[in-house]
Structure 1
Amino acid sequence: MRHVILGAGPSGVIAAETIRKHAPHDEVIVIGDEPEAPYSRMAIPYLLIGKVGEEGTHLRHGEGHYERQGISLRRGRAKRVDVQARSVELDDGSTLAFDRLLIATGSSPASPPIPGIHGRGVHPCWTLKDARAIAALARPGAKVIQMGAGFIGCIIMEALQQRGVELTVVEMGDRMVPRMMGPTAGTMIREWCEKKGVRVFTSTRVEAIERRAPDLMDRLAEAGGIEDHVPATPMTVRLSSGEHLPADLVISATGVRPNIGFLENSGITCLVGVLTDERLQTNVEGIYAAGDCAEAFDKVSGRTIVSAIQPNAAEQARVAAMNMIGRDATLKGVTQINVLDTLGMISASFGKWDGVPGGQHVELTDRDEGRHLSLQFDGDILVGCNSIGWTEHVGVMRGLVEGQVRLGDWKDRLLEDPTLLMEAYLACAQAQGDFGWVRAKA
């Protein structure tokens, strides 16, 4: 049987290795669209601050790893999937037949329609090629403007700050990490970053990236004729607040979109991402999806979501791979979890952190100690939470939210004192006579 996997990120690699382990005689082909060995994007900030070299970003180490596994790596980009012919057309014009197909094409940076954004000196921080360009330009003292202060933006921000640049962050939302944190938590993260020397604008848009009269190098750059890391003509970033900021480098971290455009008119159902069932199969038999491009059911929110975090990518890949070889496996749910280290401030977000209609909530904040806890309830179930500086309760919060544990009277006790999370967790486990999920989640 031939298994074709589109995407050479964590989902693609884990799926390929899972198939190889359980179906040693099947053919496994992984298609990646970058020249490098499969690597983790989450390691790029560590590359920028010098904690790892480029090889340290690789998902697997050791020369010939994939060859020894009997996994064929091929460079290319999918242009079209023909579900009737059971084949994939690649950008070089070739076609590749499959018996089983896994769509693990991940996501790409969303580029906002800002004048000047495609010129020299503006980069996302998404690929190793991006990292090389940023490392060449983000030298100590360089004036760097970062657009976006979401989860990915905050990780990039830490790497830039450690490189000694003069960093300014511009976020359209009214707070930092607006899709992960409520107003109090997001504001606390902003105040912390400002104390660390990062200038932060919220409720502000970049309206244009302006350059002096473009020189020949700028025109060549826009046409793809020179290397990205060649220094740009000095830039001025114009903000909606009216400010004009000088910049040597602009980082675009304004979100990502699933790479699913090639599936248009294929017959494979896509919403935000590729819609899958509990076995990660699409509406077309034998075609599966996993990772940042997959849309799966989340039992906490009761809807399908794309949750682009690596633990989800890994578990979805495993489940999809097992089903591709005929071993029944189901996805227990999508993990909505983000734990973030922002210049030393640890924050966490789980589930429906912004609450549900008619639900109850409680907040406890100590700004002097840099601690904040917000709990959201639906009846007597904890459905979401935010925390800052409450690292000892991270496992407990995840267990209660993902386990959809009925708290009974403990819900009212937590409304009075949200710090009793551990006591509530253990009491409910004892009442149910089940400590297995305590050990698993804590």
Structure 2
Amino acid sequence: MTHHVILGAGPAGVIAAETIRKHAPADRITLVGDEPEPPYSRMAIPYLLIGQIDEAGTHLRKAPDHYERLGIERVFARAKSVDAQARTVTLDDGRALLFDRLLIATGSRPVRPPIRGIDLPGVHHCWTLADARAIMARAQPGARVLQLGAGFIGCIIMEALQQRGVTLTIVEMGDRMVPRMMGPAAGGMIRQWCEAKGVAVHTSTRLEAIERAGPLRVRLSNGQHIDADLVIIAAGVKPAIEFLQDSGIRCLQGVLTDEHMQTNVSGIYAAGDCAEAFDKVSGTTIVSAIQPNAAEQARVAALNMVGQHAELRGVTQINVLDTLGLISASFGNWQGVPGGERVERVDAQHHKVLSLCFDGDVMVGCNSVGWTQHIGALRGLVEGRVRLGEWKDTLMHDPTQFMAAYLAAAQAQAHWSAAADARRR
């Protein structure tokens, strides 16, 4: 009987376990998670904070006996090390699990910056259900909340906090909000929007120290001191792969995988936020920590683990964000490529920004703020690597014509592709 060990009980781990069970009814499956909760979605935590769901609403599967019915053994522990040659995983409780196939789906961990006072009561990450409980206890209406970090996750947390009626201050080290997703004009527009909604925003600013508790007193690099009832650290995440050191499993930013989600060690796979997979748009390997990627990577890995042939078609670089009602999106290489061209249109009156990046006549990335219609066309142009031809010049003159360009150029590309297929036959 083949034994599949899955490290990580988030969406990737659960989807992989279910996929293995569907295609290998007799195989043994062990799902290892390091939290005492039933497997849940971190992306549901903001909805818990604003009261739209209860804790059970965060659970990935609602039936309490779901895993038992599928014969999936759950283990509450954290992986301490992996011996790829001996095919064993050592857990932090001293147990060792022998495996035939291993899936590493340990996800990410929040970055913990070296700030004096970060261990004081009232300072929390917003990453686990335990964090959410602590935040809800302090983030009552009128409470003073300071959040370090205005990245993608930070902005989602900010949205939930504002709906709880707190007085909110955001501190971001970058020179704009969402700096890893948005260029200067787009990130600046999001900041203006947040400030108009009553959020105090400090960019190009570090949190230097938390100097006392009850209330917390925070010292910023711009010289200001801010009193807070709650400090939230949302300074980014990184793949949770420290336990793989000296394992022989190759890691760069994340666990390096091939198109089958297999690592450099036969029978050992990775999926989700800890995996580094090939992205066809950028032409390199990336860690893309979004749930649709995690789900597809888990499916591909699981099928290969049971002996079926499956390939990852590519990693999707997509971020769509709702920041206090302002919609923004980022696709592909939004920073542009060497030697490429860029066009940007800013409509400050209507809180809109549109930035398109090209490599020759192919759009390789884009930013948009305030655009809600036809955003799928931008994604289609980027992911489809559509050759725009003369439409490239049209977009350089007026980037808002992207929908017309998509309809014309994508249809033309599909026609020529079909004609080429016919000729080959």
TM-score w.r.t. structure 2 length? 0.96
Partner in structure 2 of residue 431 of structure 1: 412
Tell me the CA shift for residue 432 of structure 1.
2.8
**Alpha-carbon spacing, 1:47–1:318, altered in 2? closer, same or farther (3 Å):** same
Partner in structure 1 of residue 395 of structure 2: 414
Partner in structure 2 of residue 58 of structure 1: 59
Partner in structure 1 of residue 224 of structure 2: 243
Structure 1 runs, 4 residues or longer, greater than 4 Å off: 434-437
User: In structure 1, how many angstroms separate the alpha carbons of the residues matched to 2:100 and 2:84?
Assistant: 11
Tell me the CA shift for residue 435 of structure 1.
12
User: In structure 1, how many angstroms separate the alpha carbons of the residues matched to 2:417 and 2:176?
Assistant: 38
Partner in structure 1 of residue 263 of structure 2: 282
Tell me the CA shift for residue 431 of structure 1.
1.4
The C-alpha deviation readout for 1:63-116, integer Å capped at 9, x for no partner, is: 211111221111110011111111111111011111100000001110100100
- 3-state SS, counterpart of residue 120 of structure 2: coil
User: In structure 2, how many angstroms separate the alpha carbons of the residues matched to 1:362 and 1:393?
Assistant: 18
Match of 1:386 among 342, 367, 378: 367
User: In structure 2, how many angstroms separate the alpha carbons of the residues matched to 1:133 and 1:376?
Assistant: 42
Does residue 326 in structure 1 map to residue 307 in structure 2?
yes
User: In structure 2, how many angstroms separate the alpha carbons of the residues matched to 1:409 and 1:22?
Assistant: 49
Does residue 97 in structure 1 map to residue 79 in structure 2?
no
**Alpha-carbon spacing, 1:359–1:128, altered in 2? closer, same or farther (3 Å):** same
Does residue 198 in structure 1 map to residue 179 in structure 2?
no
RMSD after superposition: 1.3
The question of whether the paired residues in 1 share the 8 Å contact of 2:387 and 2:413 is answered with: no
The question of whether the paired residues in 1 share the 8 Å contact of 2:381 and 2:410 is answered with: no
The C-alpha deviation readout for 1:9-40, integer Å capped at 9, x for no partner, is: 00000111111111111111100000000000
Compare 64-73 and 28-37 and name the one that shifted more. 64-73
Partner in structure 2 of residue 115 of structure 1: 116
AA of the residue aligned to 1:37: P
User: In structure 1, how many angstroms separate the alpha carbons of the residues matched to 2:356 and 2:95?
Assistant: 53
Partner in structure 2 of residue 398 of structure 1: 379
Tell me the CA shift for residue 350 of structure 1.
0.5
Partner in structure 2 of residue 218 of structure 1: none
AA of the residue aligned to 1:56: G
Does residue 266 in structure 1 map to residue 247 in structure 2?
yes
User: In structure 2, how many angstroms separate the alpha carbons of the residues matched to 1:387 and 1:366?
Assistant: 11
User: In structure 1, how many angstroms separate the alpha carbons of the residues matched to 2:186 and 2:209?
Assistant: 30
User: In structure 2, how many angstroms separate the alpha carbons of the residues matched to 1:430 and 1:209?
Assistant: 57
Tell me the CA shift for residue 393 of structure 1.
2.3
Partner in structure 1 of residue 421 of structure 2: none
User: In structure 2, how many angstroms separate the alpha carbons of the residues matched to 1:286 and 1:431?
Assistant: 43
Tell me the CA shift for residue 434 of structure 1.
5.4
Partner in structure 1 of residue 46 of structure 2: 45
Runs of 5+ consecutive residues of structure 1 not aligned to the other structure? 212-231, 438-442
The C-alpha deviation readout for 1:275-323, integer Å capped at 9, x for no partner, is: 1111110000000000010011111111111111111111110111111
> Identical aligned pairs, as a percentage?
72
User: In structure 2, how many angstroms separate the alpha carbons of the residues matched to 1:28 and 1:396?
Assistant: 41
Tell me the CA shift for residue 436 of structure 1.
12
Tell me the CA shift for residue 378 of structure 1.
0.5
**Alpha-carbon spacing, 1:195–1:436, altered in 2? closer, same or farther (3 Å):** farther
Compare 64-73 and 267-276 and name the one that shifted more. 64-73
Tell me the CA shift for residue 237 of structure 1.
0.4
The question of whether the paired residues in 2 share the 8 Å contact of 1:429 and 1:435 is answered with: no
Runs of 5+ consecutive residues of structure 2 not aligned to the other structure? 419-425
User: In structure 2, how many angstroms separate the alpha carbons of the residues matched to 1:188 and 1:128?
Assistant: 32
Aligned length: 417
Matches within 5 A, 1:15-414: 15-211=16-212, 233-414=214-395
The C-alpha deviation readout for 1:340-382, integer Å capped at 9, x for no partner, is: 0000000000011010111011111111111111000001110
Tell me the CA shift for residue 43 of structure 1.
0.3
- 3-state SS, counterpart of residue 368 of structure 1: helix
- 3-state SS, counterpart of residue 211 of structure 2: strand
User: In structure 1, how many angstroms separate the alpha carbons of the residues matched to 2:125 and 2:336?
Assistant: 32
